[in-house]
Chains A and B, each alone.
Chain A
């Protein structure tokens, strides 16, 4: 792999799409302004621009070369300003392959290479190479010359060479889609929005619309609404199936390897040592059905992975399967029992207050100004009170040696496991009322995506517990 190579010519298409997308807004704006008189000239300008763009894309492709030399990935690019980027093999953290629909037509893949650096984009991105070439490239970049650690590892490995792997079944995938939550959220939002907005719509407009609606007939309207939500729901299912179809996770000695997607195929690598915390999420819809999502917090990495901050290790599984799953893939994080130290009873009032305060004000305001609609905020108020009650019930922590597990609820319930060495800072907060009640809030910070921290808070825990955890965290008290 020493000779410099160009990307597959399909890269020209991707370059072009990228440039056009950047100018799309300007072009649309131009079209709207010049729509009447000078449309011909505008067409000409767009035509010329398009030719320039195509030429630019071809040149960009022509000038972009990559090669592997001296254990480095060397990329040279730039049309007017020549740039060279050398990335040492040892510094590469992960290599991801993504094949979109266009890629798959030509049997291509996009290679994204990440180092520990932080930023929105991957450090190096080869937008189109042949799939076998991409896989060879990944193997080549991953083999790290002669590394002593590797030898010790391989001795262990000859004993058990099987790399564990798990795939999602279609039935599970379907369940994941039906419970993906998009439907619930959309419905709740629509209902709330309507009940709130209703009051602000000008009467005249409201009346005429109402007449039209009544003319339509309530039945037809209801059927339309149901069809609309059904459509959203089906879209949600389809979206989940397309995104997580054929989800497969495999573990080898240093990393987790994830493949997923029906239309756009993604292959992600997660180096084990970059995992900062492992979490189990039980969304409000899935929890009663006993289904959970397993995710990991990973240091660095870019948003380009499209994983919204946490990386999903497995989209859906039964609650009681989690332990086996972790035992197989991340034995360090397995075996968390269910005995959480709960929050004290006297913390409940804080939780109830915190979640319902806003709606308490809204209810009061509505009671004064629109007494007829008092039921709408009242329902929400009761909802938030129940949520506060659940948040209090679910909050807690569990300490086992060097591992701390905390559990808290936002809407869904999250259980997050992290090790002492992964926690970057420990904060105990206490306001006056908490002090009177001997309660405290604990905040743990770990490294998150894009170089920013991810923080976990347990509110209103027993102050003695918080102090005990601070002692556990403190390096002074470690008998040194």
Chain B
């Protein structure tokens, strides 16, 4: 665990994350606008709206412009014959080892945003935990899924 894993996830992940963050932020901006409209109708102070603009602005800057890139830069994974090695996390860096023989099943998932960029995420489940490798190229994802699934078929050794 001294060396980080080698493989990065697809660069388009940044775009996909930006879009999904932008949608979430859009809701926040709608609330901000609503606050102004309400302030106009019911004649209360515009200060609440201004505070809301500030909050929305800061949070948009972070979640849309700053974090996706940092997140992508940190995300690494590597699949060995015996185990899967994952690294993620911006402030708290987490490195996880999942032994192949503990893998119960592997899924690939794809939402509309990932589909737009021809990406998919791989989800690995053990009896106790689930781990997700987000936003790989479609073919990489299905290849990885098949590979893990094949490797996970090793017989249970009772070491």
Contact = CB atoms under 8 A, between A and B. Distances in A.
A427 B126 contact: no
A445 B89 CA distance: 19
Contact of A425 (B82, B126, B157): B126
A471 B129 CA distance: 20
Determine the interface band of chain B, counting residues with CB < 8 A from chain A: 20 to 34
A218 B98 CA distance: 62
A424 B93 contact: no
Given A424-B129, A447-B127, A467-B2, A431 B97 contact: no
Interface string A376-409: 0000000000000000000000000010000000
A299 to B, nearest CB: 7
B83 interface: yes
Contact of B94 (A299, A420, A428, A451): A428
Nearest to A471: B1
Interface string B76-97: 0000101100000101111111
Contacts of A430: 92-94
Contacts of B131: 425
Nearest to A473: B97
Contacts of A250: none
B91 A474 contact: no
A447 B128 contact: yes
- How many residues of A sit at the interface, in one of the four size bands? 20 to 34
B102 interface: yes
Interface string B132-159: 0000000000000000000000000111
B159 A420 contact: yes
A480 interface: yes
Contacts of B26: none
A306 to B, nearest CB: 22
B11 interface: no
Contacts of A125: none
A466 B94 CA distance: 12
Nearest to A426: B97
Interface string A444-480: 0111100111110000000000110011011110001
Contact of A446 (B1, B92, B96, B128): B128
Nearest to A468: B1
Given A427-B95, A429-B94, A475 B128 contact: no
B57 interface: no
B1 A448 contact: no
A82 interface: no
A284 B54 CA distance: 47
Nearest to B83: A475
B27 to A, nearest CB: 29
A476 B80 CA distance: 8
A174 to B, nearest CB: 38
Given A475-B83, A476-B82, A454 B128 contact: yes
A432 interface: yes
B157 to A, nearest CB: 8
Among A299, A425, A426, A431, the most chain B Cβ lie within 10 Å of the Cβ of A425
A471 B1 CA distance: 7
A461 B1 CA distance: 15
Interface in B21-67: none
A470 B97 CA distance: 8
A421 interface: yes
A56 to B, nearest CB: 39
Interface of A: 299, 402, 420-421, 424-432, 435, 445-448, 451-455, 466-467, 470-471, 473-476, 480
24 contacts: A299-B127, A420-B159, A421-B157, A421-B159, A424-B102, A424-B128, A425-B129, A429-B89, A429-B93, A431-B91, A431-B92, A435-B93, A445-B128, A445-B129, A447-B127, A447-B128, A448-B128, A453-B129, A455-B128, A470-B1, A471-B1, A474-B1, A474-B97, A480-B82
Given A421-B157, A429-B94, A466-B1, 4 more contacts: A424-B129, A431-B91, A475-B99, A476-B80
